[in-house]
Structure 1
Amino acid sequence: MLKLFRIIAILEGISYLLLFGLTMPLKYWAEIGQPNKWVGYAHGVLFILFVVIAAVFCYERKWSIKRFLILFVASLLPFGTFYADKKYLSKA
């Protein structure tokens, strides 16, 4: 489960950066909206997976609600899931 969680964390972080760093500018500056749609879908699915797996993982490992909230906030910040992976998941 940890390996899957770490993979989802990295993919969610990459999708976040692609969405806001690449496809949003394409959509609004170059009027190319199709990549934004597909990356947005992928990011949404990965975000939900990350949060659900974080909740399950915290429950199974008996981690505190504080650690879950840190993981949740990390999913909302650019580069946050990379930090969470390095700080919390690689040592779990």
Structure 2
Amino acid sequence: MTNLFKFIAISEGISYLVLFSNMLIIKKINPELYKILLFPIGMAHGVLFIGYVILAFIITKRQNWN
């Protein structure tokens, strides 16, 4: 379970950085590409974040963390 949590946490962080790079770099270079990429990247980031939070609660209960 902790390996899955680690994978989700790293993936969520990467998706966050990709989302920011899309907003800061690609938007200035190619606004059309920015609009095309925004929804799939944002959706992936949202799903990974929700999975991260759910797994954090599950692992907190299982490991008896404060």
When normalised by structure 2's length, the TM-score is: 0.86
Distance in 2 of aligned mates of 1:57 and 1:45 = 18
Which residue, 41, 44, 47 being the options, matches 1:42?
Answer: 44
Counterpart amino acid of residue 41 in structure 1: M
More displaced 10-residue stretch of structure 1: 9-18 or 29-38: 29-38
5+ long unaligned stretches in structure 2: none
| Cα deviation code 1:53-73 (max 9, x no counterpart) | 001100111100xxxxxxxxx
Q: How many residues are matched?
A: 62
Greater RCO structure (CA 8 Å; 6+ sep): 2
What is the aligned partner in structure 2 of residue 23 from structure 1? 22
Gaps of 5+ in 1: 65-92
Higher CA-based Rg: 2
Q: What percent identity do the matched residue pairs reach?
A: 44
Alpha-carbon RMSD across the aligned residues, in angstroms, is 1.0
1:4 aligns with 2:4: yes
Determine whether 1:55 maps to 2:41. Answer: no
Give distance in 2, aligned partners of 1:18 and 1:44.
13
Post-superposition Cα deviations, 1:29-53, rounded to whole Å, max 9, x if no partner, equal: 2312111211110000000000010
Q: If each structure's helix is expressed as a fraction of its own residues, which one has the higher value? A: 2
